[in-house]
A = this chain, B = another copy of it.
Amino acid sequence: MRPSGRDLSEMRPVSIETGVTKHAEGSCLIRMGDTHVLCTATIEERVPPFIKGSGLGWVTAEYGMLPRATNTRMRREAAAGKQGGRTVEIQRLIGRALRAGVDRVALGERQITIDCDVIQADGGTRCAAITGGWVALRLAVDKLIKAGIIASDPLVDHVAAVSCGIYAGQPVLDLDYPEDSEAGVDGNFIMTGAHKLIEVQMSAEGALFSRDQMNTLLDLAEKGVSQLVEAQRAATT
């Protein structure tokens, strides 16, 4: 029933390749099916003005899509002169999600910026960005720990995200673009490795939804996140 032939609760193949750029303190290329996102982590020994002197660290994120990551070429945001609403919304989400898994006291007064650039898009780019972004963050933090710059691990748990939705009347896990563009309900679920919730975003896109459906999608999401956390673990140990 799904365009890809997947089962309702079947994820796309996930792969996470680390160390893909030589300059970044942490980096990976995450592939969720045909969605490919390059994630890099940059450590800077400075923090935004609003927490200067607080002793707390900061994790933030930026998101972008290469102009031809999509089927039709999109206008380059740098040429347009501003980031679109969708971009802004997504990068705020990524930053919020990753911060939720960080002990900012343990991180110390420094900033880690996660850049997530979509090389190829096929649905679920924000979830891939969060999942891959955490890997880049993990690698950068490991470097700080190994160098003795920070003493205790500021990452309290894994952070991963997956989309679920109601497609053709059925709850499905990990929507690809053909599903995403037709789904009646679309949700993004961000969790820790222990399935504690960080962020839930569900939207009616044509069909309204009930509390039961919400809970069903959450079941699927837990299954998906477990697989993603597995892939994160494999990539970072």
Pairs A–B under 8 Å by Cβ, sample size 9:
A21-B69, A23-B121, A64-B66, A67-B113, A76-B115, A85-B91, A96-B203, A199-B203, A211-B215
The contact string, 1 if C-beta is below 8 Å from chain B, for chain A 83-112, is 101111101100010001000000000000
- Chain B contacts for A91, CB-based, 8 A: 85
Whether the Cβ atoms of A199 and B204 lie closer than 8 Å is yes
| Contacts A64-B78, A197-B202; A38 near B119 (Cβ below 8 A) | yes
State A69–B113 Cα separation when bound (angstroms): 14
State A172–B215 Cα separation when bound (angstroms): 21
| Contacts A21-B120, A68-B21, A203-B96; A62 near B83 (Cβ below 8 A) | no
Q: Does A179 contact B (CB under 8 A)?
A: no
Whether the Cβ atoms of B79 and A85 lie closer than 8 Å is no
Given contacts A88-B89, A197-B202, 15 further A-B contacts (CB under 8 A): A23-B68, A23-B69, A23-B70, A24-B68, A40-B66, A62-B67, A62-B76, A64-B66, A78-B78, A85-B92, A196-B208, A198-B204, A199-B203, A200-B201, A201-B201
State A162–B86 Cα separation when bound (angstroms): 23
Q: Does A22 contact B (CB under 8 A)?
A: yes
Which listed residue (B81, B117, B203) contacts A82, Cβ 8 A?
Answer: B81
What is the distance, in angstroms, from A159's C-beta to the closest C-beta of chain B?
A: 10
Q: Does A34 contact B (CB under 8 A)?
A: yes
- Chain B contacts for A163, CB-based, 8 A: none
Bin chain A's interface residue count: 35 or more
A interface: dominant SS: mixed
| Contacts A197-B208, A200-B200; A85 near B78 (Cβ below 8 A) | no
Whether the Cβ atoms of B120 and A71 lie closer than 8 Å is no
Considering the complex of A and B, which 7 residue pairs feature the smallest CB-CB distances, nearest first?
A77-B78, A196-B208, A40-B68, A85-B88, A42-B73, A200-B202, A78-B78
Q: Nearest B residue to A198 by beta-carbon distance?
A: B204
- Chain B contacts for A196, CB-based, 8 A: 204, 208-210
What is the distance, in angstroms, from A51's C-beta to the closest C-beta of chain B?
A: 14
Q: Nearest B residue to A41 by beta-carbon distance?
A: B68
State A20–B73 Cα separation when bound (angstroms): 16
